[in-house]
Amino acid sequence: MSASSIIELAGVSKAFRIPSVRRDTIREHLLGALEPRRFERLQVLDSVSLDVSRGEAVGVMGRNGSGKSTLLKIMCGVFPPDKGRVSARAAITPILELGIGWNPELDAVDNVFLVGSVMGLSLRQIRRGMDEILAFAELERFANLKLMHYSSGMSSRLGYAVAFQAVREVLVLDEIFAVGDAGFRARCEDRYRRLRAQGHTVIMVSHDPRIVSTFCDRAVLLDGGRIVMDGAASDVAGEYLSLLMRPSG
């Protein structure tokens, strides 16, 4: 790992076992209980190596199923790699599947305390930042409403607002600018710029060439679980558009 590196993946591979026959109903499970279940091996990442320098913003692009989200989850320690090595020299804040950990029986304020604590915020930090979190998510009027009554969009906005308060040195984002209306996306973009100005390192998955070209210094293109291009963000965004025009497989 070089002196300037903050995250390094070396020869990382990951595969999942998926059932070849689905059993969705109770009847199907009962009828198939005596038969051995067959699985297929799905290779999601294949010998991926990636070096991210401190203070760099790296985009990750690729078609659906190319391994982008799995790559992020391995970086964040959600999945262990089957092969290879992952090294990190700083704390990582993942903004991936927001809403996991919410308690639908609690209101927004209580959920912010719950999830914010899990993300590493102290109770004092949460109290101090509560008004800003609710304002960022435009949920001041609904602060005392149970989350079971929230729409998916409201829950996502709240998740982003909490996560942006808990940012450590490295920020890992999955389709950050695809949630909410134009106003909320503009606030996310403004917060992102401020974090970058403060020197945070960012790894970002996006399908939007404009987002990658605008907000990333560099990007990688995944296809079939491998990195097929690593270069300037605008160049990779252009190659991604070309890739979309080709038949998959």
The 10s digit of each residue's pLDDT in 69-99 is 899 999 988 899 999 999 999 988 887 765 5
Both tokens of 214, joined, read: 């605008």
Cβ atoms within 10 Å, residue 202: 22
pLDDT at 22: 60
The runs of H, that is alpha helices, within the chain are: 26-31, 68-75, 108-118, 123-136, 152-165, 182-197, 209-215, 233-244
Mean pLDDT of the residues in the chain? 87
Region of poorest pLDDT, from 26-40, 72-86, 187-201, 226-240: 26-40
Percentages helix, strand, coil for the chain (3-state, rounded to 5) are 40, 30, 35
Between these two residues, 1 and 205, which has the higher pLDDT value? 205
Evaluate whether 89 touches 55 at the Cβ level (below 8 Å): no
Between these two residues, 247 and 141, which has the higher pLDDT value? 141
Listing from the earlier edge strand, what are the strands of the sheet with 39-53?
Answer: 39-53, 5-19, 83-88
Give residue-wise pLDDT tens across range 152-206: 888 888 988 888 888 889 988 887 776 667 888 888 889 889 999 999 999 999 9
Q: Answer whether residue 249 is part of any domain.
A: no
d(CA 173, CA 204): 5
Q: How far is CA 20 from CA 48, 66, 233, in A?
A: 26, 20, 38
pLDDT at 32: 55
Report the candidate in 204, 217, 212 with the shortest Cα–Cα distance to residue 240. 212
- Could you tell me the pLDDT band of residue 3, with boundaries at 50, 70 and 90? low
Percent of the chain with pLDDT over 90: 57
pLDDT over 60 at 38, yes or no:
yes
Domain count, the chain: 1
Task: Give the domain extent around 169.
Answer: 5-244
pLDDT at 40: 80
Between these two residues, 151 and 233, which has the higher pLDDT value? 233
Q: Answer whether residue 129 is part of any domain.
A: yes
Model's pTM, two decimal places?
A: 0.82
Cα dihedral 153, 158, 159, 163 sign: positive
pLDDT at 173: 86
DSSP state of 14: E
Maximum alpha-carbon separation in the chain: 60
pLDDT at 28: 55
CATH code at position 217 = 3.40.50.300
Q: Answer whether residue 66 is part of any domain.
A: yes
Average pLDDT estimate for 112-125: 89
Q: Answer whether residue 176 is part of any domain.
A: yes
> H/E element holding 42?
strand 39-53
Name 17's bridge partners: 41
